């Protein structure tokens, strides 16, 4: 249970820089930017937290997991693990800046 006793936990996001930025922009706090070298260890650390009920991880993270981690993640209900497409895949047609401009009406300057 959370501090209020509701049983509702946190959502954690694990992924590449672009994915992390996107979820931070919508207000999520437990967002972890990883590299190929750190993905498996960070995934394991997040999975062991008691306050996380949902883990959203990129397919890039999924590819870096060991077979045991992958099987555990795919069968886990607490926390529930959802893998989403990596933002750097071939199917990406719009940059994060262009998406923010179109959807939010704001221009992201780097």
Distances (CA, A) of 7 to 3, 46, 73, 89: 9, 18, 21, 36
The pTM of this model reads 0.72
Report domain extents, the chain: 10-104
- No. of H helices and E strands in the chain? 5, 4
* pLDDT bracket for residue 5 (50, 70, 90): very low
pLDDT digit string, tens, across residues 22-76: 999 999 999 999 999 999 999 999 999 999 999 999 999 999 999 999 999 988 8
Q: Quick one: CATH architecture of 10-104?
A: 3-Layer(aba) Sandwich (3.40)
């Amino acid at each position: 249970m959370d501090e209020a006793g509701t049983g509702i936990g946190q959502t954690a996001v694990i992924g590449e820089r672009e994915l992390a930025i996107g979820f931070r922009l919508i207000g999520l706090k437990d967002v972890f930017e990883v590299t190929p070298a750190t993905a498996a260890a960070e995934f394991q650390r997040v999975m062991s937290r008691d306050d996380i009920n949902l883990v959203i991880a990129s397919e890039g993270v999924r590819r870096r997991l060991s077979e045991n981690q992958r099987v555990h993640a795919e069968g886990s209900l607490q926390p529930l693990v959802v893998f989403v497409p990596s933002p750097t895949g071939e199917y990406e047609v719009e940059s994060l800046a262009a998406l923010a401009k179109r959807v939010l009406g704001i221009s992201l300057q780097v």
